[in-house]
Structure 1
Amino acid sequence: MPIDADRPVKKLRGVNLGGWLVLEKWMTPSLFSGMAARDETAWCVELGDKAEWILQKHWRTFINREDFAWLAEVGINAVRIPVGHWLFEADYPYHASYGVNPYPFVQGGADILDQAFAWASEFGLAVVVDLHAAPGCQNGFDNGGIQDVCEWHTRREYIDYALKSLERLAQRYGGHPALCGIEVLNEPRWDIDTELLKRYTQAGYDIIRRHCRADDVAVIFHDGFRGFREYERFMSGPQYRNVIFDIHRYQCFIREDVELDVFGHLNKAVVDWKNEAEDIIAHAGIPTYVGEWSLGLDLKMAASWAAGAFDYPTSGMDDFQLNVAYRGYAAAQLACFEKYLGWFFWSYKTENMPQWCFRDCVENGWLPNRFG
């Protein structure tokens, strides 16, 4: 069935600016050195008053104008920027992990996001803003703000504050020419009720549309780690315009994938994921982004939070063979993901994980040096 004629026509070839406004320990381990904290909530609580100047420095230096210029130069035309629910005001609902401080998060991130929008406009990049961390955490991952806690869906005040965060984003950036989409929630966990997620997404759509025209700004929702059939034709009717389905595709987090050799990884990308793409395009009823993907093929990164990392079968490869493997894996994924309306590599920058660092992947020759 053809996709709604009102869908956006510009293909987005983008990168995530992860580890910037939402901390992830594996991406910036230097910030967590010597600390017990494993996520931004615990980091802020543990550092207390010291957190502000450290994080302000990180915000100013981790991503800057030169990075936006470089992305535009290689032909990237969009960025996806993860943000936390604490971005705007210290009025978010309390969680037990905050301890004695009801508002532990550092304020001022909205000014950094304003600057990011200005740089995006300067260099012609579109911006997707993604609510990456909701109150109470929606997935139990560090990227949701509180590791090993998933309580967002259990309290009405948490859900309502996530919606309030979407409204603040829509109000602040709805008229900005660089804004092309707002994602209502990143990676809600697989066991959260699908009907609850649908109600939340519809409420988010209504709130965003009060401030953002459908012609200009997409409303994006993640699959919640479940098959697209659970959302088939969801929000595809005439009352909904410019709605985008977001999927994330990795091959490094489950034993079945990690134990593949390089040919198995390539086969999964060019056969399984290609067939999936054609199925989604034919039946989902709305266009799709691959909001996250990478060249990560080992669990060295995941070992920072997951015990029992598996041996990776490329360990016997020499440097030339590894380079060929990464180039092949990159090409296979790009050939598949180009079928969709857009894609965003995770992530632009890491401190010591080149397979997850877009700039390193380009400069190492694993990814193309031009994207337009």
Structure 2
Amino acid sequence: MLTSSLLVAIAAFASSAQAWLPSDASNAAVNKRSLGLFPAPGQEGTDKRWLPGSDKIRGVNLGSLFIFEPWISSSEWAATGCEGQNSEFDCVMNKGQDTADTNFQAHWRRFINETDLNEMISYNLNTIRIPLGYWLKESLVDSSEHFPKGGLDYLTEFVGWASDRGFYIILDLHGAPGAQQTKQPFTGQYADTVGFYNDYNYNRAIEWLEWIVDIVHTTDEYRNVGMIELVNEPLNWDNAVGTLRDTFYPNAYKAIRTIEDNLSVNSADRLHIQMMSSLWGSGNPVEHLDDTTFTAFDDHRYFKWDTSIEVSHDSYISTSCSDDRNSDGPSIVGEWSLAVPDDVESTDEWSPSTQQDFYSKWFAAQVHAYESSTLGWVFWSWTTDLGDDYRWSYKAAVEAGVIPTDLSTISSPC
């Protein structure tokens, strides 16, 4: 853990005018948000980065904070009063709004807080990705929908703490109106059918994006938010995503830029707008965009569900070593883990308790690949309730000695 004096120094540095860059007069006019990890207008080719000492995103997802996945955080799900429920929608509907609101507000403050941010700093992490649901804007929720209320207050407080510590922050519309996938709790509901891919819910999602972008640019706590993702993991290899590309993405992009125009946000301080990359399987995300300024792309790389890869230690490491995840432009591997297929995860050969050496090497191989071919990575997730199985938890993997506390000590097996 960091000493109190070091934390004070970090906080002072992060709140200074030059917090995102080394002190360098040639970059004095570059705004803190824009040069997070991308060259700002007029700065093409610069080797300056937003965080001195690191030129790559190295971060964690805050899974199950504002959107629960019960299977990965089961004891916390039970502590929130939702045991036996499939999703947040189901829990609120069946437990009652007032009871659910009280329980979820306690969960938010208990599950991930300032203590966790301090621990992330001590592990040399520089980025957090925060999955959010559209119900954070409570006026968007209609009478047939049931979600916890009050999340914006804690989000604002939390991103303020993260900004004070100098984190780069990505906000992700993880749960879209109507649900972008069926029977996936990460959408906030366990829907039998997808309901996102129509004008009504596209418009609700755009209203949410306009609202959160306005908050980002007008609320000091959000000063280190540099990127917003339009929607997490839409359908792939499905005809429904045609309208995602030709309607939702262009309209959402224009809506965000219009909000920034109306607020007179200067060009160097505009948010990067992120979409799932072509590797996700939803087509070319910028196919119908007239303007691609400050766009970025999200890749999710889970070997657990990739049946094209031979399931062996050597295959996983060799595949990772040569894994080029850059397809459309500035890309981030925004989700990945050390999880392996269900049919082998409990075998001796893949046991997390006896195979720490393999998992350490595989972690290093993935880091090598993602930092070689993209702007960096965001591990899924920071913390889980899976006991000694650290394969989904960065925090637990560090505690198990699989991930080093100092990322600069990683030795690539490639």
TM-score category of the 2 structures, normalised to the smaller one: 0.7 to 0.9
Q: 1:66 aligns to what? A: 115
CA contact (8 A) 2:73 2:384 kept: yes
Q: Does residue 242 of structure 1 match 2:299?
A: no
Secondary structure at the counterpart of residue 30 of structure 1? helix
Q: 1:251 aligns to what? A: 303
Secondary structure at the counterpart of residue 67 of structure 2? coil
Q: Does residue 187 of structure 1 match 2:187?
A: no
Q: 2:70 aligns to what? A: 25
Alpha carbons of 1:223 and 1:362: their partners in 2 closer, same or farther (altered >3 Å)? same
Aligned-CA RMSD value:
2.7
The CA distance in 2 between the partners of 1:318 and 1:117, in whole Å, is 36
State the TM-score, normalizing by the size of structure 1. 0.83
The Cα offsets for residues 67-86 of structure 1, whole Å up to 9 and x where unpaired, read as 11121222111100000010
The CA distance in 1 between the partners of 2:176 and 2:75, in whole Å, is 25
Alpha carbons of 1:188 and 1:41: their partners in 2 closer, same or farther (altered >3 Å)? same
Secondary structure at the counterpart of residue 138 of structure 2? coil
1:187 alignment partner AA: E
Q: Looking at both structures, which has the greater relative contact order when contacts are Cα pairs under 8 Å and sequence separation is at least 6?
A: 1
The CA distance in 2 between the partners of 1:327 and 1:69, in whole Å, is 23
The Cα offsets for residues 66-107 of structure 1, whole Å up to 9 and x where unpaired, read as 11112122211110000001002143245xxxxxxx342111
CA contact (8 A) 2:72 2:385 kept: yes
Secondary structure at the counterpart of residue 332 of structure 2? strand
- Give the drift of 1:202: 1.8
Q: Does residue 361 of structure 1 match 2:397?
A: yes
Once the two structures are superposed, the pairs formed by residues 1-372 of structure 1 within 5 Å of their partners are: 6=41, 10=50, 11-33=56-78, 35-48=83-96, 49-93=98-142, 102-140=144-182, 141-175=184-218, 176-190=222-236, 191-198=238-245, 199-212=247-260, 213=265, 215-216=268-269, 217-223=271-277, 226-227=280-281, 230-231=283-284, 234=287, 239-257=291-309, 260-271=311-322, 273-274=323-324, 276-277=325-326, 280=327, 284=328, 286-299=329-342, 310-312=343-345, 314-316=347-349, 321-339=354-372, 340-352=374-386, 353-371=389-407
- Give the drift of 1:254: 4.6
CA contact (8 A) 1:269 1:332 kept: yes
The Cα offsets for residues 231-271 of structure 1, whole Å up to 9 and x where unpaired, read as 2864787x3311001110001125555x6022221122113
Say which is worse superposed, 320-329 or 219-228, in terms of deviation.
219-228
The CA distance in 2 between the partners of 1:291 and 1:63, in whole Å, is 19
The CA distance in 1 between the partners of 2:120 and 2:154, in whole Å, is 18
Say which is worse superposed, 352-361 or 244-253, in terms of deviation.
352-361
Which consecutive residues of structure 2, in runs of 5 or more, have no partner in the other structure? 1-37, 51-55, 409-414
CA contact (8 A) 1:289 1:342 kept: yes
Alpha carbons of 1:320 and 1:268: their partners in 2 closer, same or farther (altered >3 Å)? same
The CA distance in 2 between the partners of 1:365 and 1:133, in whole Å, is 33
The CA distance in 2 between the partners of 1:225 and 1:152, in whole Å, is 23
2:272 alignment partner AA: A
- Give the drift of 1:326: 0.6
Q: 1:302 aligns to what? A: none
- Give the drift of 1:179: 0.9
Alpha carbons of 1:368 and 1:150: their partners in 2 closer, same or farther (altered >3 Å)? farther
Alpha carbons of 1:106 and 1:332: their partners in 2 closer, same or farther (altered >3 Å)? same
- Give the drift of 1:126: 1.2
CA contact (8 A) 1:22 1:83 kept: yes
The Cα offsets for residues 278-317 of structure 1, whole Å up to 9 and x where unpaired, read as xx2xxx2x21011101111243xxxxxxxxxx24485346
The Cα offsets for residues 118-153 of structure 1, whole Å up to 9 and x where unpaired, read as 111111101110000011100121101222534233
Which consecutive residues of structure 1, in runs of 5 or more, have no partner in the other structure? 95-101, 300-309
Q: What is the percent sequence identity of the aligned residues?
A: 27
The CA distance in 2 between the partners of 1:233 and 1:136, in whole Å, is 23
